[in-house]
Chain A
Amino acid sequence: MLRLENVRFRYSGSDTTYDFSMQVAAGEITCISGRSGSGKSTLLDLIAGFLKPVDGSLTWRDINFTQLPPDKRPVTTVFQQHNLFEHRDAIDNVVVGINPKIPKKGRDAELAESVLASVGLQDFIHTRVNLLSGGQQQRVAIARAILRDSGVILLDEPFSALDQQTRADMLHLVRTLATEKARAVIMVTHDLRDCEAIADSHYEIEHGQLHKRVV
């Protein structure tokens, strides 16, 4: 269970104070919506550790990770774009998730290979990622998220640039991931159809706070 308790934050020079509280269980997908500038990215940055809250606490499986740096948190983010190192091939981009030295051989490389295969990219393991399609690129990013084995996966509008069919495939992939690997998934989107399609719960950000909506 991922738990946010009154995680408060304020940008210097801004009047808005964010105050976030929510829970996401392992194996569940929670969808976050809200207008542009409402604070969706701020929420994700706070969970991922790119921003430090003023107070409040973040816990995963009852372990408080509020003070940990981004790479020590049980969290992986898949961004809308720029997820990948464009000049490297697919497997490098995946294996870097567990080993920054990017080994070409050995256990880590084999693991990365099998994860890539599990998202349907077995034929593109050594392809440079900027030669892949948008959907394939997001699959590489998700493959890395799977490999990292962190409990919480944050999706920052990851499929908004994809066509309808690819998008459906990706949503399906996420659903499988959440259920089979028991991950807590938080997905930011402004397309409510995505929420309806796969989400178990839905929050909307308004005036710096999270409001639960009925799915």
Chain B
Amino acid sequence: MAAVFVLLAATLLYQLASHPDSLTLSLGPRFARTLYWTTVQATISTALSILVGTLLAWALSYRTRFAGRGVYIALLSSAMVLPTLVIALGIVTVLGRSGWINEALQWLEFSPFEPFIFGLSGIVLAHVYFNASYVARTLLGRFESIPVEQRKLTRSLGLNAWQRFKMIELPSVSGTLPGVSITIFLLCFTSFSIVLMLGGSPKYNTLEVSIYEAIKLDFDLGRALGLALTQLSICAVLIILASRLRKDNRLISAPTANRYQLKDPVMLTGIQYIVIVLFGLIFLLPLTAVVIDGMSASFIKLAGDKNFLLALSTSLVIALLSTVLVLFSSVLIAIAYATLATQQRLANNRISQPLLKLLRFSSTLYLAVPSLVLGLGFFLLARGVGGAQILWAVIALLTSNVLMVLPFAIAALAPAMVKCANRYDKLAFSLGLKRWNRWRLIESSLVKPELIYIASLAFCLSLGDLGVIALFGNQDFITLPWLLFQKMGSYRTDEAAGIALIMLAITLAVFLLLPRLFAGKLIKTEKAHHAKA
């Protein structure tokens, strides 16, 4: 991992050094305003995402038995891997000036609403769409692990819903919320494709989009670098602040399989179902729009399109490679983490403490590395060094994919690793199990569900991302999102819709079915474990 950083830094520095005349670091005239709007946008997006997500998680944690709950929650978890462009397309179809909602309103003889999907409201809407689902999914796990005795207790004490929320739900997520908020803030702060598509005017550009414009529109590399370094420092400061805020997370008992649905007043139940249904609709409509629009596309024509086939195979190969790389690096990081934590536990080692902190810090910092700048570095390096552009494009794409997924991978892996440590550290010490041996014997089987999750996450995110490819894409090297972006741009609507549907189908299939395919095996190994125990 350190190597990646060194390479990145070297690339940037090398570029700086090799263009002493043409490059003057600058921020551009609109920097202050861009920073202001980016901050405003990210703050609103984060606040709304947390609010909506918490409300939904709260409703779902109370309503534990309704038809389709499993599917509902599975869809929520898939939100973060849905291709942003595809969803943005769906949102326009549903909420555009001539979108479904407006048509319905007109049909019902209400006056249609003003278009709002471009500009700040559009950006915020799309961000909330993705991130509220993420919040809901994360918090639901927390809420569900609240011991049922506590729920019974609050009811027998006659606390109302708000008092209950304050007494048990809020404390159960107080350790999680700062981390989740900062992650979402960083995602919105560095948002790219949503802002590019729904931004409306230069007013709401994020720093990331300004970097893109500096490179692609004005060809001002000095400004691009200046903006990139600024974004990097701001995000780094935020992450440091957040890590200070973050309280030590008290371990909560594992979710009980017993999905207890306690009786509640009709009012409360009603409100909860309204929240669930309403969000479900908001969530499903754009997906449905993508499916319906996509159905009308001619897949036979698409299957004969050599560009499409090229993009499809490129995307699948890239996604697969990224998955392998992500798994490999997150396992390495996890082992390093476990080893360091063990050292820390055994003897208050002076080196392991800061190393641990650095490891934790850097895993979040990837969120702040603008993938465009990474791409630019590689692009310029390619220009300087020579060699096949396509090779550089692949390297740049893989690197940015790995960096994009790692924060989530580590967030998923860390709690499982801590659990392993709590359970097996003493045994491992007494048997002298270390590093790879320990991993093979203990973690590899215990964190398998997390690894499968990480794999599907890596695959889907890599498949759907439009970032670096925006710089590298050309006739010979296209990915599905890039092709989609182009088709959307050239108003090949039906083809775009077809590609969007295919991307959606692949993503959902991989994300929802893959873990289930492996689940059978898992139960067996789990049982074997119990039998041994």
Contact = CB atoms under 8 A, between A and B. Distances in A.
Interface in A47-84: 48-50, 52, 69-73, 75-77, 79-83
Nearest to B147: A82
Nearest to B148: A82
B168 interface: yes
Nearest to B260: A50
A96 interface: yes
A106 interface: no
A100 interface: yes
B167 A85 contact: yes
B427 interface: no
Interface residues of A, number: 26
Interface stretch (B152-160, B218-226, B359-367, B446-454): B152-160
Contact of A71 (B147, B156, B171): B156
A104 interface: no
Contacts of A52: 263
B150 A76 contact: no
A70 B147 contact: no
B153 A71 contact: no
The listed residue with most A CB atoms (<10 A of its CB), out of B159, B167, B168, B250, is B167
Given A48-B152, A69-B263, A100 B147 contact: no
A83 B153 contact: yes
B160 A100 contact: yes
A52 B153 CA distance: 17
A87 interface: yes
B157 A71 contact: yes
B163 interface: yes
A85 B171 CA distance: 9
B149 interface: yes
A39 interface: no
A97 interface: yes
A50 B155 contact: yes
The listed residue with most A CB atoms (<10 A of its CB), out of B153, B260, B262, B263, is B153
A96 B167 contact: yes
Nearest to B168: A85
A49 B153 contact: no
A73 B156 CA distance: 8
A72 B158 CA distance: 8
Interface in B136-164: 147, 149-150, 152-153, 155-160, 163
Contacts of A69: 155, 263, 265
A100 B158 contact: yes
B448 to A, nearest CB: 29
Contacts of A49: 155-156, 263
B160 A70 contact: no
Contacts of B160: 100
A37 to B, nearest CB: 12
Interface in B95-139: none
A70 B152 contact: yes
A81 B152 contact: no
B171 A100 contact: no
Given A70-B155, A70-B156, A96-B159, A82 B263 contact: no
Given A50-B262, A52-B263, A85-B168, A71 B158 contact: yes
A96 B152 CA distance: 14
B156 A48 contact: yes
A100 B159 contact: yes
A76 B156 contact: yes
A155 to B, nearest CB: 13
**How many of chain B's residues touch chain A, expressed as a range?**
20 to 34
A140 to B, nearest CB: 12
Contact of B163 (A45, A97, A100): A100
A87 B156 CA distance: 19
A80 B262 CA distance: 19
Given A83-B149, A87-B171, A75 B158 contact: no
A44 B252 CA distance: 25
A69 B264 CA distance: 9
A88 B166 CA distance: 11
A13 B176 CA distance: 36
Contacts of A45: 152
A97 B152 contact: no
A182 to B, nearest CB: 20
Contact of B149 (A71, A73, A82): A82
Contacts of A73: 156
Contacts of B168: 85
Nearest to A76: B156
B158 A81 contact: no
Given A48-B152, A79-B152, A82-B147, A96 B171 contact: no
A51 B163 CA distance: 22
Given A52-B263, A100-B159, A77 B152 contact: yes
The listed residue with most B CB atoms (<10 A of its CB), out of A71, A97, A101, is A71
A75 B156 contact: yes
A101 B157 CA distance: 11
A33 B124 CA distance: 57
A100 B157 contact: yes
A82 B150 contact: yes
Nearest to B253: A82
A70 B260 CA distance: 15
Interface string A8-34: 000000000000000000000000000
A100 B156 CA distance: 11
A48 B156 CA distance: 8
A79 B167 contact: no
A95 to B, nearest CB: 11
Interface in B468-505: none
B164 to A, nearest CB: 9
B158 A50 contact: no
A49 to B, nearest CB: 7
A70 B262 CA distance: 10
Interface string B24-58: 00000000000000000000000000000000000
A86 B147 CA distance: 12
Nearest to A98: B157
Interface in B208-227: none
Ranked nearest first, the 3 interchain pairs of A and B with the lowest CB-CB distance are A71-B158, A82-B147, A82-B149
12 contacts: A49-B263, A50-B152, A50-B155, A69-B263, A71-B158, A72-B158, A77-B153, A81-B149, A85-B168, A96-B167, A100-B159, A100-B160
Given A81-B149, A87-B171, A100-B157, 15 more contacts: A48-B152, A48-B156, A69-B155, A69-B263, A70-B152, A71-B157, A77-B153, A77-B156, A79-B152, A83-B149, A85-B150, A85-B167, A100-B159, A100-B163, A101-B163
Interface of B: 147, 149-150, 152-153, 155-160, 163, 167-168, 171, 250, 260, 262-263, 265
